[in-house]
Amino acid sequence: MNKTDQELFEVLISTPEGKKKLQQIAKSCENHYNAFIDVLYARLDTIFKKLEDSRDKHFSHDEDSITGVIAGRLEEAGYIATEQTKKNGAVDLTVQLGDHKWIAEAKIAYSNSKILEGLLQLLTRYVTRDEHAGLLVYIKKNNSKMVLEDWKRYLEGCDGLKSYIANKNPEVKDDLECILNNVETTDINNFSFNSKHNLVCGSSIKVQHFCADLYFNPADISGNSSKKQRKDNAINNLANLYFEHLDSNNSFDSNKCIEFLERLFRDLDPDDISLDE
Protein backbone atom coordinates (compact mmCIF):
# COMPACT_ATOMS: atom_id res chain seq x y z
CA MET A 1 0.00 0.00 0.00
CA ASN A 2 1.24 3.53 -0.78
CA LYS A 3 1.08 6.33 1.79
CA THR A 4 -2.34 7.55 0.68
CA ASP A 5 -3.80 4.03 0.86
CA GLN A 6 -2.31 3.57 4.34
CA GLU A 7 -3.79 6.86 5.55
CA LEU A 8 -7.22 5.89 4.22
CA PHE A 9 -6.94 2.52 5.92
CA GLU A 10 -6.03 4.13 9.26
CA VAL A 11 -9.08 6.39 9.01
CA LEU A 12 -11.25 3.41 8.12
CA ILE A 13 -10.35 1.44 11.25
CA SER A 14 -10.38 4.41 13.65
CA THR A 15 -14.14 4.19 14.37
CA PRO A 16 -16.62 1.37 15.03
CA GLU A 17 -18.38 2.30 11.79
CA GLY A 18 -15.11 2.11 9.92
CA LYS A 19 -14.31 -1.31 11.34
CA LYS A 20 -17.72 -2.53 10.24
CA LYS A 21 -17.02 -1.17 6.77
CA LEU A 22 -13.69 -3.00 6.74
CA GLN A 23 -15.49 -6.25 7.50
CA GLN A 24 -17.84 -5.57 4.62
CA ILE A 25 -14.89 -4.92 2.32
CA ALA A 26 -13.24 -8.12 3.52
CA LYS A 27 -16.45 -10.04 2.86
CA SER A 28 -16.58 -8.62 -0.66
CA CYS A 29 -13.10 -10.07 -1.28
CA GLU A 30 -14.26 -13.65 -0.71
CA ASN A 31 -14.13 -14.45 -4.43
CA HIS A 32 -10.90 -12.56 -5.12
CA TYR A 33 -7.84 -14.18 -3.54
CA ASN A 34 -5.39 -11.34 -4.29
CA ALA A 35 -7.78 -8.79 -2.79
CA PHE A 36 -8.17 -11.05 0.25
CA ILE A 37 -4.37 -11.04 0.68
CA ASP A 38 -4.08 -7.26 0.24
CA VAL A 39 -6.76 -6.49 2.83
CA LEU A 40 -5.37 -9.09 5.26
CA TYR A 41 -1.81 -7.74 5.00
CA ALA A 42 -3.00 -4.17 5.58
CA ARG A 43 -4.81 -5.35 8.69
CA LEU A 44 -1.75 -7.25 9.94
CA ASP A 45 0.43 -4.16 9.47
CA THR A 46 -1.91 -2.28 11.80
CA ILE A 47 -2.01 -5.14 14.32
CA PHE A 48 1.78 -5.30 14.47
CA LYS A 49 1.98 -1.56 15.16
CA LYS A 50 -0.47 -2.01 18.02
CA LEU A 51 1.63 -4.89 19.38
CA GLU A 52 4.54 -2.46 19.64
CA ASP A 53 2.32 0.00 21.52
CA SER A 54 1.87 -2.71 24.19
CA ARG A 55 5.38 -4.13 24.17
CA ASP A 56 5.64 -3.63 27.95
CA LYS A 57 3.28 -6.64 28.14
CA HIS A 58 4.40 -8.66 25.13
CA PHE A 59 8.12 -8.44 25.93
CA SER A 60 7.74 -11.19 28.54
CA HIS A 61 5.28 -13.32 26.54
CA ASP A 62 6.18 -16.42 24.55
CA GLU A 63 5.46 -16.68 20.81
CA ASP A 64 2.20 -18.61 21.31
CA SER A 65 0.80 -15.90 23.59
CA ILE A 66 1.73 -13.12 21.16
CA THR A 67 0.26 -15.05 18.24
CA GLY A 68 -2.92 -15.51 20.27
CA VAL A 69 -3.27 -11.73 20.55
CA ILE A 70 -2.90 -11.42 16.76
CA ALA A 71 -5.54 -14.11 16.21
CA GLY A 72 -7.94 -12.31 18.53
CA ARG A 73 -7.57 -9.01 16.70
CA LEU A 74 -8.11 -10.70 13.36
CA GLU A 75 -11.31 -12.24 14.73
CA GLU A 76 -12.45 -8.74 15.72
CA ALA A 77 -11.91 -7.67 12.10
CA GLY A 78 -14.26 -10.37 10.80
CA TYR A 79 -11.84 -13.19 9.97
CA ILE A 80 -11.81 -16.73 11.32
CA ALA A 81 -8.38 -16.95 12.95
CA THR A 82 -7.20 -20.09 14.73
CA GLU A 83 -3.98 -21.17 16.43
CA GLN A 84 -2.18 -24.51 16.34
CA THR A 85 -4.34 -25.81 13.50
CA LYS A 86 -3.63 -29.43 12.50
CA LYS A 87 -1.99 -29.61 9.07
CA ASN A 88 1.00 -31.98 8.83
CA GLY A 89 1.76 -30.69 12.31
CA ALA A 90 0.45 -27.64 14.17
CA VAL A 91 0.30 -24.40 12.15
CA ASP A 92 0.84 -21.37 14.41
CA LEU A 93 -1.80 -19.18 12.74
CA THR A 94 -4.53 -19.97 10.20
CA VAL A 95 -6.72 -17.17 8.82
CA GLN A 96 -9.86 -17.86 6.81
CA LEU A 97 -12.44 -15.75 5.00
CA GLY A 98 -14.99 -17.53 2.82
CA ASP A 99 -13.11 -20.02 0.65
CA HIS A 100 -9.73 -18.36 1.18
CA LYS A 101 -7.12 -19.46 3.69
CA TRP A 102 -3.72 -18.07 4.74
CA ILE A 103 -1.24 -19.68 7.13
CA ALA A 104 1.73 -18.33 9.05
CA GLU A 105 4.47 -19.55 11.36
CA ALA A 106 5.74 -17.45 14.29
CA LYS A 107 9.23 -17.15 15.78
CA ILE A 108 11.01 -15.01 18.35
CA ALA A 109 14.14 -13.56 16.72
CA TYR A 110 16.73 -15.13 19.00
CA SER A 111 18.98 -15.74 15.98
CA ASN A 112 18.79 -16.03 12.20
CA SER A 113 18.87 -19.82 12.34
CA LYS A 114 15.96 -19.86 14.83
CA ILE A 115 13.89 -17.67 12.49
CA LEU A 116 14.91 -19.90 9.59
CA GLU A 117 13.62 -22.96 11.43
CA GLY A 118 10.19 -21.33 11.46
CA LEU A 119 10.38 -20.57 7.74
CA LEU A 120 11.37 -24.15 6.98
CA GLN A 121 8.51 -25.50 9.09
CA LEU A 122 6.22 -23.37 6.98
CA LEU A 123 7.71 -24.31 3.58
CA THR A 124 8.56 -28.00 4.09
CA ARG A 125 5.74 -29.07 6.41
CA TYR A 126 2.65 -26.86 6.21
CA VAL A 127 2.21 -25.28 2.78
CA THR A 128 0.57 -27.34 0.04
CA ARG A 129 -1.05 -25.40 -2.82
CA ASP A 130 -0.66 -22.04 -1.09
CA GLU A 131 0.39 -19.06 -3.21
CA HIS A 132 1.01 -16.81 -0.19
CA ALA A 133 1.97 -17.48 3.43
CA GLY A 134 3.43 -15.55 6.35
CA LEU A 135 6.27 -15.52 8.86
CA LEU A 136 5.61 -13.59 12.08
CA VAL A 137 8.88 -12.42 13.65
CA TYR A 138 8.92 -11.06 17.22
CA ILE A 139 12.10 -9.08 17.97
CA LYS A 140 13.02 -8.79 21.66
CA LYS A 141 16.48 -7.27 21.38
CA ASN A 142 17.71 -3.73 20.81
CA ASN A 143 18.39 -2.30 17.35
CA SER A 144 15.45 -4.14 15.80
CA LYS A 145 16.07 -2.38 12.48
CA MET A 146 19.49 -4.04 12.25
CA VAL A 147 18.02 -7.42 13.31
CA LEU A 148 15.46 -7.23 10.50
CA GLU A 149 18.01 -6.11 7.89
CA ASP A 150 20.40 -8.87 9.00
CA TRP A 151 17.65 -11.49 8.68
CA LYS A 152 16.86 -10.28 5.16
CA ARG A 153 20.56 -10.45 4.15
CA TYR A 154 20.83 -13.92 5.70
CA LEU A 155 17.88 -15.11 3.64
CA GLU A 156 19.41 -13.70 0.48
CA GLY A 157 22.30 -16.16 0.72
CA CYS A 158 25.02 -15.01 3.11
CA ASP A 159 27.76 -17.34 4.38
CA GLY A 160 25.69 -18.14 7.49
CA LEU A 161 22.89 -19.56 5.36
CA LYS A 162 25.32 -21.62 3.30
CA SER A 163 26.85 -22.98 6.50
CA TYR A 164 23.38 -23.84 7.83
CA ILE A 165 22.60 -25.89 4.70
CA ALA A 166 26.04 -27.56 4.71
CA ASN A 167 25.55 -28.77 8.31
CA LYS A 168 22.15 -30.36 7.66
CA ASN A 169 21.62 -34.08 7.11
CA PRO A 170 22.30 -35.13 3.50
CA GLU A 171 18.74 -36.38 2.93
CA VAL A 172 17.33 -32.82 3.21
CA LYS A 173 20.11 -30.80 1.54
CA ASP A 174 18.63 -30.99 -1.96
CA ASP A 175 15.27 -29.74 -0.67
CA LEU A 176 16.91 -26.93 1.28
CA GLU A 177 18.93 -25.80 -1.72
CA CYS A 178 15.75 -25.74 -3.81
CA ILE A 179 13.90 -23.60 -1.25
CA LEU A 180 16.75 -21.33 -0.13
CA ASN A 181 18.82 -20.77 -3.27
CA ASN A 182 18.23 -17.59 -5.29
CA VAL A 183 15.62 -16.21 -2.90
CA GLU A 184 14.03 -13.04 -4.26
CA THR A 185 13.16 -10.37 -1.67
CA THR A 186 11.42 -7.01 -1.77
CA ASP A 187 12.54 -3.86 0.05
CA ILE A 188 11.63 -3.49 3.72
CA ASN A 189 8.46 -1.42 4.15
CA ASN A 190 6.55 -0.86 7.40
CA PHE A 191 8.92 -3.31 9.11
CA SER A 192 7.89 -6.00 6.64
CA PHE A 193 9.21 -7.57 3.44
CA ASN A 194 8.36 -10.36 1.03
CA SER A 195 10.45 -13.33 -0.08
CA LYS A 196 9.78 -15.65 -3.03
CA HIS A 197 10.77 -19.32 -2.83
CA ASN A 198 10.72 -22.30 -5.17
CA LEU A 199 9.09 -25.28 -3.51
CA VAL A 200 10.17 -28.89 -4.02
CA CYS A 201 6.81 -29.62 -5.69
CA GLY A 202 7.81 -27.28 -8.53
CA SER A 203 5.58 -24.31 -7.72
CA SER A 204 6.60 -21.03 -6.08
CA ILE A 205 5.29 -19.19 -3.03
CA LYS A 206 5.54 -15.68 -1.64
CA VAL A 207 6.13 -15.31 2.10
CA GLN A 208 5.38 -12.03 3.85
CA HIS A 209 7.66 -11.40 6.84
CA PHE A 210 5.83 -9.32 9.46
CA CYS A 211 8.16 -8.08 12.21
CA ALA A 212 7.34 -6.49 15.56
CA ASP A 213 9.81 -4.55 17.72
CA LEU A 214 8.96 -5.80 21.22
CA TYR A 215 12.17 -4.82 23.02
CA PHE A 216 11.33 -3.04 26.28
CA ASN A 217 13.92 -1.70 28.72
CA PRO A 218 12.69 1.58 30.29
CA ALA A 219 15.33 3.79 31.92
CA ASP A 220 13.00 5.99 33.99
CA ILE A 221 12.89 5.55 37.77
CA SER A 222 9.66 3.53 37.78
CA GLY A 223 10.76 1.16 35.02
CA ASN A 224 14.34 0.84 36.20
CA SER A 225 13.30 -0.15 39.74
CA SER A 226 10.87 -2.88 38.63
CA LYS A 227 12.09 -6.32 39.71
CA LYS A 228 9.86 -8.09 37.22
CA GLN A 229 11.15 -5.94 34.36
CA ARG A 230 14.76 -6.60 35.38
CA LYS A 231 14.21 -10.37 35.57
CA ASP A 232 12.24 -10.56 32.32
CA ASN A 233 14.98 -8.57 30.59
CA ALA A 234 17.70 -10.83 32.03
CA ILE A 235 15.93 -14.03 30.91
CA ASN A 236 15.43 -12.64 27.43
CA ASN A 237 19.04 -11.49 27.16
CA LEU A 238 20.31 -14.90 28.31
CA ALA A 239 18.23 -16.58 25.59
CA ASN A 240 19.56 -14.14 22.98
CA LEU A 241 23.14 -14.71 24.15
CA TYR A 242 22.78 -18.51 24.00
CA PHE A 243 21.23 -18.72 20.54
CA GLU A 244 23.55 -16.08 19.08
CA HIS A 245 26.46 -18.18 20.35
CA LEU A 246 25.10 -21.27 18.61
CA ASP A 247 24.82 -19.23 15.40
CA SER A 248 28.41 -17.97 15.44
CA ASN A 249 31.93 -19.35 15.63
CA ASN A 250 32.85 -16.97 18.44
CA SER A 251 33.64 -18.12 21.98
CA PHE A 252 30.86 -17.84 24.52
CA ASP A 253 30.74 -14.42 26.21
CA SER A 254 30.87 -15.59 29.84
CA ASN A 255 31.18 -12.03 31.19
CA LYS A 256 27.87 -11.08 29.59
CA CYS A 257 26.32 -14.28 30.89
CA ILE A 258 27.41 -13.49 34.46
CA GLU A 259 26.07 -9.95 34.08
CA PHE A 260 22.63 -11.23 33.07
CA LEU A 261 22.63 -13.92 35.77
CA GLU A 262 23.41 -11.26 38.39
CA ARG A 263 20.37 -9.28 37.27
CA LEU A 264 18.22 -12.40 37.43
CA PHE A 265 19.33 -13.63 40.87
CA ARG A 266 20.16 -10.31 42.56
CA ASP A 267 17.40 -10.71 45.18
CA LEU A 268 17.82 -14.45 45.72
CA ASP A 269 18.83 -15.72 49.15
CA PRO A 270 20.81 -18.97 48.72
CA ASP A 271 19.29 -20.24 51.97
CA ASP A 272 15.87 -20.21 50.28
CA ILE A 273 16.93 -22.66 47.56
CA SER A 274 15.51 -26.17 47.99
CA LEU A 275 16.43 -29.15 45.81
CA ASP A 276 13.69 -31.35 47.27
CA GLU A 277 11.05 -32.57 44.82
For position 205, what pLDDT does the model report? 94
Structural domain that includes position 236: 218-269
Residue 125 lies in a domain: yes
In this structure, the answer to whether residues 134 and 229 fall within a common structural domain is no
Is 138 found in the same domain as 127?
A: yes
Please check whether residues 34 and 124 belong to one and the same domain. yes
pLDDT at position 104? 96
Q: Is 275 a member of any domain?
A: no
Q: Are residues 158 and 55 both part of a single domain? A: yes
> Is 244 a domain residue?
yes
Residue 135 covered by a domain: yes
pLDDT digits (tens, 9 = 90+) for 4-27: 666 666 666 676 666 666 665 655
Q: Identity (one letter) of the amino acid at 32?
A: H
Same domain, 147 and 265: no
* Same domain, yes or no: 223 and 211: no
Q: Is there a domain that residue 277 lies in?
A: no
One-letter identity of residue 201: C
pLDDT tens figures, 139-185: 998 899 999 999 999 999 877 788 888 888 888 888 888 899 889 99
Coil, strand or helix at 52: helix
Please give the pLDDT value at position 159: 77
- Residue 276 counted as domain residue: no
Shared domain for 111 and 227, answered yes or no, is no
DSSP string, 184-249: EEPPPBTTEEEEEEE-TTS-EEEEEEEEEE------SHHHHT-HHHHHHHHHHHHHHHHHHHHHSS
User: Do 192 and 237 belong to one domain?
Assistant: no
Please indicate, yes or no, whether the overall pTM of this predicted structure exceeds 0.85.
Answer: no
Q: pLDDT tens digit string along 58-69?
A: 888 889 999 999
pLDDT for the residue 101: 92
Q: Are residues 134 and 179 in the same domain?
A: yes
Last residue of a domain, one of 183, 199, 216: 216
Contacts of 167 (CB under 8 A, 6+ apart): none
Please check whether residue 148 lies inside any domain of the structure: yes
- Is 39 within 8 Å of 46 (Cβ atoms)? no
Same domain, residue pair 126 and 25: yes
Whether 141 and 186 map to the same domain: the answer is: yes
Looking at per-residue pLDDT, the higher value among 210 and 35 belongs to 210
Least Cα distance to 206 among 227, 216, 192 occurs for 192
Domain count for the chain, please give it.
2
Cα end-to-end span (Å), the chain: 56
Contact between residue 214 and residue 51 where contact means Cβ atoms under 8 Å apart? yes
Task: Return the minimum-mean-pLDDT range out of 99-103, 186-190, 217-221.
Answer: 217-221
- Regarding whether 253 and 211 lie in a shared domain, the answer is no
